[in-house]
Amino acid sequence: PTIYLKDYQPPVFGVSTIDLDIRIHETETLVVSTLEMQRLHAGELVLLGRDLELLNVQLNGSDLAPSSYSLDKETLTILNAPDQCTVKTEVRIHPENNTQLEGLYKSGGMYCTQNEPEGFRKITFFPDRPDVLAVYTTRLEADNQYPTLLANGNLIEAGQVGGDRHYTIWQDPTKKPSYLFACVAGDLAVLKDSFTTMEGKPVALEIYTEEKDIEKCHVAMQALKDSMLWDEEHYGRAYDLDNYMIVAVSQFNMGAMENKGLNIFNTSCVLSSPETSTDASNFYVKSTIAHEYFHNWTGNRITCRDWFQLCLKEGFTVFRDQSFSDTLQSPAVQRIDDVSSLKSAQFAEDAGPLSHPPRPDHFVEINNFYTATVYDKGAEIVRMMATLLGEENFRLGTDEYFRRHDGEAVTVEDLIGSLSDGSGTDLWNFLPWYSQPGTPVVTGQGIYDAETRRYTLTLSQSIPKKPNYPAPQPLPIPVKIALFNQQTGQPLLLDAQGETETVLMLNQSKQVFVFEHISSQPIVSLLRDFSAPVLLNFDYQDQELAFLMQYETNGFNQWQAAQQLLERILLQGHDASAYLEALLVTLPKVASVDPLLASRLLDIPTETFIASRIDSNYDPVAVRSTRETLMNAIAAELKDFWSASYAALPIVPYADTSEAMGQRALRNAVLAFASRAGVADALTHASQQYDAAVCMTERLGALRQLVNYDAVDHDAKLADFYQRFENEALAIDLWFGLQASKPNATIGEITRLSQHPQFDLNTPNRVRSITGNFATNPVAVWTTEGAQFYVNLAKTLDAKNPILGSRILQVLSRWYTLKEPLRTQVKAVIDGLQGQVTSSSVVETLANLQKAG
């Protein structure tokens, strides 16, 4: 059934406390829960439950006869419940068979939970919705072979039960919604540390993982302490409990989960070591630790009223983790990385059949809405408001949000209201950003009049009209700009204070902005720092973009100018010469001062991104060939630079700093172009780099070139890699991923990889290592066999793990843009899934795919 935001009803009963008693056995788990309930509104007392075997139900201490309640697949209704009552249920569940990784499940040898959004109803009967906040006491009992028994809050009791079982009792003093409940039973090692908050409160920090991985937890621990301090300094938010625990699990559908005081993390987002993790994954560990920590205030203490408001906690928290990450690498590179993923994931999503507003107004399966739009466009909206307010006023606004709503379950309106009132600036015109789907297009034109020394900038916006949504309204779009003197390359002063940058607010369909006292035809640099999540369409000459590549002082816009030029070359058939000339002079300069930024200047839009901009007659082979031609031209044009700079970037001892990261990133990018250019010895260098590598970034970067260019020793090196890391699951994921992302991988090779003994459908990381990486190869994906590969997996996962199955199917969402006869062929493959799947996640995604076109 479809659920609508407009149908929201407050809960009929509240729950003040819940006592859980969870007894884990090898072949079953028994859960007794006791709820103290109070009527809030007229209506029936309905508890939600799924896949639970109800053993007993009591009301106020007496067993209920079946005539006093009604039970169906999703609900347990207590008939004629009094206004105050104690409801006690006992259920049997089977975490040992739970492959969906939702509720309580077994991962490897341990038990853990994932309850967001609606997993708690798979553990016990409860009003499982985020606006019911309760105090939890949890008793957890298991065999002694699971010595670690954790739940949210403080440990208040522990003991033996007979000879071979034991228990712990935990109490969480803060009220929380059920999706933040967590518990863990396992045999885990722990890394301990501590942090003293600005309020002087000591907090015990603990990271739990398998013994063999414990040394890989130091990066996460440091990131946790850094995040705790950062939130104090930037938002005035201190941690509230006495302990903060993180548990690493290897089978997990998402990155991590912010359960109150007991985060559960995908191993890929918590374990890090130079030998086994790339710089990218090491970075991702830090930013995910920050993300989940920041949820403690934006998500947990202030939570969402209903799941339509998901972007309230996710958008704000992503914005916060992105800001934190500015301290880990330069803000320019951070912005480049965030914007490239926004453009490749969110813009693409918004251009397809799964397009939806950051706050959807209806859904069938909420699990399908943990999307780039909710997370990343959600973050962009908060960023725009922060840009408009400036640091100080934004802080006044967030202070007001925390002051007003601590302990509440709220809506997007509550955030906008607090930011407006706290800052004294009315931000209500941003509300439509949350409810309108589609990427706005900003079109601009600049005219200089030498006589009046006036520069006139005309900006207009258009928002794509989407089926089933009302005609779009103009949005407030902050456009951060600078003007440059073409002769000197210097930015112009825009006011008497010497400012060289200003934010124009485009609020209407079309607006004119006038700049006076401009002595010569300037070059405008638009949308600095990507001040709004829009597509920009300015009537630049290619030469002007090439100028900005060289002279922009804003690193992000230097990159953006390059990207705009590249998009023209790749999508509109422009000649590459202006870009190549600019790159030739700019790259060596940037490389000598900021290797990390230089490595990003070598980003070439991916085939998937290019495809997201082509709405019909898309020919994957033609896109590949255009892009290859460009890459070859870049490789050839800068041949001398590759040789010189590779030699200037020797392998040095590992350091986890942005400088060292920059050198490694640039060296790998240079090695890739050198290999492409056929620079003499490039593959020999790659082979040597593989052998001499002091860290995974170096080893994997080298191996990638050996594999992509079929170097003589590529099989030997692949085998060596496998042997070295056989027992390191995350490194083996990289091994699968590298082969799956090989540009000329055939479906036969992909199928063979998926038949490898280490491929495992129960481990999402392993599945994604193939499906996610193979998706970067549209030439092979968009074939009957390629599409069939995804469809088959979605079908297999439909029962086993529908959340994952649905994600995998989404790879095919833009089938309707393909040129014929591919379009018809792929559609037939997708239609073959009809009637073959039953989970709401996969069924909803399939229906959306079929509707398209």
Q: Which is nearer to Zn ion, 415 or 545 (CB)?
A: 415
Question: Among residues 292, 567, 698, 844, which one is catalytic?
Answer: 292
Least Å distance, CB 17 to Zn ion, is 27
Binding of ligand ARG at residue 561 (CB under 6 A)?
A: no
Does residue 253 belong to the site contacting ligand ARG (CB under 6 A)? yes
CA gap 405, 378 in Å, rounded: 20
- Contact region with ligand ARG (CB under 6 A), list: 23-31, 250-258, 319-327, 542-550: 250-258
User: Would you count residue 797 as binding ligand ARG (CB under 6 A)?
Assistant: no
Nearer of residues 626 and 840 to ligand ARG, judged by Cβ: 840
Site for ligand ARG contains 810 (CB under 6 A): no
From residue 303 to residue 342, the character string flagging contacts with Zn ion as x (rule: CB under 5 A) and all else as - is -----------x--x-------------------------
The listed partner (Zn ion, ligand ARG, none) that binds 337, CB under 5 to 8 Å by sort, is: none
Beta strands, E only, 389-489 = 409-410, 441-449, 454-462, 477-485
The item of ligand ARG, Zn ion, none sharing an interface with residue 253, based on CB under 5 to 8 Å by kind, is ligand ARG
DSSP 195-206: EE-TTS-EEEEE
Q: How far is the CB of 786 from ligand ARG (least distance, A)?
A: 26
- Asked if residue 254 binds ligand ARG (CB under 6 A), the reply is yes
Is residue 542 near ligand ARG by the rule CB under 6 A?
Answer: no
Residues 216-245 that bind ligand ARG (CB under 6 A): none
CB nearer to Zn ion: pick between 314 and 637? 314
Q: Which is nearer to Zn ion, 314 or 698 (CB)?
A: 314
How open is the CA angle 659-599-568, to the nearest 5 degrees? 150
**Residue among 356 and 823 whose Cβ is closer to ligand ARG:** 356
What does the alpha-carbon distance between residue 449 and residue 241 come to, in Å, rounded to a whole number?
63
CA angle centred on 702, ends 697 and 706, rounded to 5°: 150
The answer to whether the peptide bond before residue 821 is cis (omega within 30 degrees of 0) is yes
Q: How far is the CB of 507 from ligand ARG (least distance, A)?
A: 32
Which of ligand ARG, Zn ion, none binds 370 (CB below 5-8 Å, type-dependent)? ligand ARG
CB nearer to ligand ARG: give 21 or 258: 258
Contact indicator for 523, 483 with CB cutoff of 8 Å: yes
310 vs 791 by CB, closer to Zn ion: 310
Q: How far is CA 695 from CA 133, 294, 555, 733, in A?
A: 46, 30, 28, 16
State residue 839 phi and psi, 5-degree precision: -70, 145
Contact between 365 and ligand ARG by CB under 6 A: the answer reads no
Instruction: Rank residues 276 and 303 by Cβ distance to Zn ion and give the closer one.
Output: 303
C-alpha 89 chain-centroid distance? 37
Half-sphere exposure at residue 807, Cβ-oriented, CA atoms within 13 angstroms? 19
Q: Is 753 in the site for ligand ARG (CB under 6 A)?
A: no
Interface with Zn ion: number of residues (CB under 5 A):
2
Peptide bond into 117 cis (omega under 30): yes
Residue closer to Zn ion by CB (options 381, 649) is 381
Question: Residue 36 catalytic?
Answer: no
Listed ranges 234-242, 254-262, 452-460, 790-798: which one lies at the site for ligand ARG (CB under 6 A): 254-262
Task: Pick from 203, 256, 385, 731 the residue near ligand ARG by CB under 6 A.
Answer: 256
The window from 252-260, 688-696, 752-760, 811-819 that contacts ligand ARG (CB under 6 A) reads: 252-260
| Helix orientation angle between 577-593 and 542-551, rounded to the nearest 10 degrees | 10
**Which of residues 100 and 741 has its CB atom nearest to ligand ARG in the complex?**
100
- Nearest distance from C-beta of residue 481 to ligand ARG, angstroms: 33
Interaction pattern, residues 307-326, with ligand ARG; x per rule: CB under 6 A? -------x------------
Nearest by Cα to 292 from 332, 324, 336 = 324
Answer yes or no: are the C-beta atoms of 706 and 713 closer than 8 Å. Answer: yes
Near ligand ARG in 110-139, by CB under 6 A: 114, 116
Task: Find the shortest distance in angstroms from Cβ 319 to Zn ion.
Answer: 11
Q: DSSP 3-state assignment of 57?
A: strand
Output the residue with the shortest Cβ distance to ligand ARG: 370
Strand order through the sheet with 243-249? 189-196, 202-209, 243-249, 262-266, 256-257
- Long-range contacts of 718-724, Cβ-Cβ distance < 8 Å, separation of 24 or more: none
Question: Residue 351, SS3?
Answer: coil
Tell me the C-alpha distance between 424 and 552, whole Å.
Answer: 34
Nearest residue to Zn ion by CB is: 314
| Phi, psi of 73, rounded to the nearest 5 degrees | -60, -25
Per partner kind, with CB cut-offs from 5 to 8 A, the member of Zn ion, ligand ARG, none near residue 256 is ligand ARG
- Which is closer to ligand ARG, CB of 299 or CB of 352? 299
Rounded-to-10 torsion of CA 761, 766, 768, 774: -100
Q: Out of 367, 765, 776, 839, point to the residue binding ligand ARG (CB under 6 A).
A: 367
Size of the site for ligand ARG (CB under 6 A): 13
The nearest distance, CB 254 to ligand ARG, in angstroms, is 4
Give the C-alpha distances (Å, rounded to integers) separating 501 from 460, 626, 736.
20, 36, 46
Q: Rounded to a whole number, what is the distance in angstroms from the first to the last CA of the chain?
A: 24
Interface mask (CB under 6 A) for ligand ARG, residues 320-359, using x and -? ----------------------------------------
Q: What is the 8-class DSSP label of residue 473? A: P
Residue 367 near which of Zn ion, ligand ARG, none (CB within 5-8 Å, type-dependent): ligand ARG
**Structural tokens at position 387:** 């840009």
Calculated CA dihedral for residues 778, 783, 785, 790, nearest 10 degrees: 50
- Minimum distance from CB of 431 to ligand ARG (Å)? 23
Min dist CB 338 to ligand ARG, Å, is: 15
Is 306 near ligand ARG (CB under 6 A)? no
Q: Which helix (H) or strand (E) holds 70?
A: strand 69-71
Whether the CB-CB separation of 655 and 612 falls below 8 Å is answered with: no
Q: Which stretch binds ligand ARG (CB under 6 A): 154-162, 251-259, 537-545, 606-614?
A: 251-259
Q: From ligand ARG, Zn ion, none, which one binds at residue 254 (CB under 5 to 8 Å depending on kind)?
A: ligand ARG
Contact assessment for residue 763 and residue 250, using Cβ atoms and an 8 Å cutoff: yes
φ, ψ of residue 91 in degrees (nearest 5): -135, 160
Q: Is 447 exposed, middle or buried (0-12, 13-18, 19+ CB in 10 A)?
A: exposed
Binding site for ligand ARG (CB under 6 A): 114, 116, 253-254, 256-258, 291-292, 314, 367, 370, 803
Binding site for Zn ion (CB under 5 A): 314, 317
Query: Residues with catalytic annotation?
Result: 292
